[in-house]
Structure 1
Amino acid sequence: MTALLHRVKSKMFIFAHRKARGLLDGEYGSVFKGRSLDFDDLRAYVPGDEVRDIDWKASARHGSPLIRRYVAVRQQQVLLVVDTGRNMAAESLGGEPKKDIAVMALGVLGSLALNHGDPVGLVHGDATGTQALPVKAGDANLERILRKVDDVGRHSAPSAPGEQLGFVERTFRRRMLLFVVADEGAVAETTERQLRRLRAQHEILWLTIRDADLTAPAPAADPAGRGTVLRDVVGRAAVVHPVAASPKVLAAYQLARTERDASRSAMLRRAGITEGYAGSSHEVVPAIFSLLESHRRGG
């Protein structure tokens, strides 16, 4: 197995026990598998499943409810849409670079898709332009996708998620599942209009990567006595740390962050898009499970 994909799957084994991984795989299947008359297999019942899908005889033998799944009536194409601008080089809430969480999320969702026979493609970019990798099956293709995202650095151009969404809107006409990964940055009105049009054409899942907490205590100095200087990845200006040093600044910071989150979440709800959150690689598996479950229930 190739390097980045191997790392993703290794973390999946660490962060989720066997039953949880099975439920995650089943949740993907229950959401995006079509219904036909051809029986496929059984999986554990998850609250919210249709009662009519319970196989009562198999459940009695097993001792717990089992759901009947059916062969898909069509193949689902999955398009991973991710910001690979400079914002993704910044620190996340859990202390990792945001790109590492993006790689984990794309690897998990991509692996689920490939396990179900669904090919995966990529749209990524920044303010200078957008690039795409074709929708294909196979671990080698998913590895190429993960490497593109892993190349993000502070040398990258500024982020502009609206550019990538516009590219998807202009380029992809066939109905697909779009898995969008971006950070907490405010979403412009033009992006909302794009998302409304995209949602009319595609299924959309949105994962927001949480920003670093600037109210946390400052990092410890190194042995030479030099403190760690935080810098904004966009303008390279030094960031005063912690924000909580001033009660007024702290209050203004928390208010601005709350308003930004509320604005983004409300915009996504209006567009009919399911949103999830992850502040670290450890949170990716449960976040994707919750996303799939919420999407299956209609948001």
Structure 2
Amino acid sequence: MASLLTPVKGKLFIDSTRKSTHALDGAYASLLRGHSLDFDDLRAYEYGDQIRDIDWKATARLGSPVVRRSLATRMHTVLFVVDTGLSMAALAYDERPKKELAILTVGVLGLLALRHGDDFCLVDGDSSGVRRREIGRSEAALEHTLRRIDRAVDEASAPSDRDALLSYVARTIARRMIVVVLTDDAPVGAETERLLRRLRVQHDVLWITLRDAEPVLDPSRTGTGAGRRARAAADLPASPQRARRDVASHWAIPEFLQGDAELAGELHAVDAADAAHTDTLLRRLEITHVALAAQDAAVGELLAMLDARSHVRHG
């Protein structure tokens, strides 16, 4: 089997050189700020900061209070919580397998963790059960992790169960970790919110949404690959390649609905409302999050997420 990690390295190298290695290092390090003797940088004082962290010399020089930030010195564990149920067997927004987008995401963040001396582990599963993989500290272990995700999605026969994964982490993992949740854009309900509140107290949580393909293609949306494909296929007879089918129920969307701009608009409005609700909730819980739609843009968006996180205070 061809390596799953090699193409991830290629994409990460291209994007990291655009942002520069220094910027990439700083972005990842922002996850790990703590109290140590290793000085990192200064930032403006915010309500809730400890008095002992104020840099009085810099405060006097700048005329406003600033605090010192330092880097944590201990090793951290990045816990990837990955839905490997039937929903991950569907297409992503860019019309490519969502599984490939999940593998790319875990590969990129896993490589960054290894690069900074951290380790990682994996929790994956669906409604039939949840599994945990032992901690890994090498690229070989990361390759095995990516293959496990690949195999689990290929063999999936049970529906996805996001809450089961979150509940497993909340119940069984006591040591503080950086928990990276990979899920689809299904609506976030009350039980998910309850579990996230619990996890947020114990762990540092990141939420990554893998956006689903549009069930009905809208030819008027010129900015997406789906829109281009729909326009190109508008005058062609129905074909199996363009058929939309739910991965769980196997219900097929009638072909005559494809290209219906009104229906596509209604579905898009529902998705936008769900996404806005999720965004509001995660912001309120102070959980860093990003929605990934396409493999070609995913690495840059992940690096931007980490970079934005460097401006957020972590206690």
Q: How far apart, CA to CA, are the structure 2 residues paired with 1:248 and 1:225?
A: 20
- Written as runs of structure 1 = structure 2, the 5 A alignment for 1:221-232 is 226-228=239-241, 229-232=243-246
Residue in 1 that maps onto 2:126: 126
Match of 1:258 in 2: 272
| 8 Å Cα contact 1:218/1:241 also seen in 2 | no
Aligned residue number for residue 247 of structure 2: 233
Query: Of 17, 33, 42, which residue of structure 2 is paired with 1:50?
Result: 42
Q: State which drifts further: 241-250 or 107-116.
A: 241-250
Q: Choose 191-200 or 2-11, whichever is displaced more.
A: 2-11
Deviation at 1:10, TM superposition (A): 1.7
2:203 counterpart residue number: 202
Partner of 1:62: none
Tell me: CA distance 1:116–1:224, structure 2 relative to 1, closer, same or farther (3 Å): same
Q: Which residue of 1 aligns with 2:26?
A: 26
SS in 2 for 1:79: strand
Q: Distance in 2 between matches of 1:90 and 1:197?
A: 30
Native 8 Å contact 1:94 1:279 kept in 2: yes
Count of paired positions: 274
**Aligned AA (1:199):** R
CA distance in 2, matches of 1:258, 1:71: 38
For the residue of structure 1 that corresponds to 2:154, the secondary structure is coil
Pairwise CA distance, 1:37? 2.9
CA distance in 2 between counterparts of 1:69 and 1:19 reads: 23
| 1:241 positional shift | 5.1
1:79-90 matches, within 5 Å, as 79-90=79-90
Structure 2 CA distance for aligned equivalents of residues 38 and 125 of structure 1: 39
Q: Which amino acid aligns with 1:278?
A: L
244-253 or 191-200, larger mean C-alpha shift: 244-253
Over aligned residue pairs, what C-alpha RMSD do you find?
Answer: 2.8
Alignment of 1:205-224 (within 5 A): 205-213=206-214, 214=216, 215=218, 216=227, 217=230, 220=233
1:139-168 CA-partner distances (Å, limit 9, x unpaired): 121111111111213743111111101000
TM-score by length of 1: 0.81
Asked if the contact 2:77–2:177 (Cα under 8 Å) also holds between the matched residues in 1, the reply is yes
Q: Which amino acid aligns with 1:164?
A: L
Does the CA-based 8 Å contact 2:30-2:309 persist in structure 1?
Answer: no
Cα distance change on mapping 1:249 and 1:220 into 2, 3 Å = closer
Q: Is 2:94–2:213's contact at 8 Å kept on the other side of the alignment?
A: yes
Partner of 1:101: 101
Unpaired runs of 5+ in structure 2? 45-67, 219-226
1:179 aligns with 2:200: no
Structure 1, unmatched stretches of 5+, are 43-48, 53-67
Instruction: Give, in whole Å, the separation in 2 of the partners of 1:79 and 1:187.
Output: 21
Residues 242, 110 of structure 1: CA spacing in aligned structure 2 closer, same or farther, 3 A cutoff?
farther
Residue identity over aligned pairs, in percent, reads 38
1:192 corresponds to: 193
The answer as to whether partners of 1:218 and 1:242 remain within 8 angstroms in 2 is no
Verify the 8 A CA contact 2:27 2:309 in the aligned structure 1: no
Q: Distance in 2 between matches of 1:275 and 1:145?
A: 22
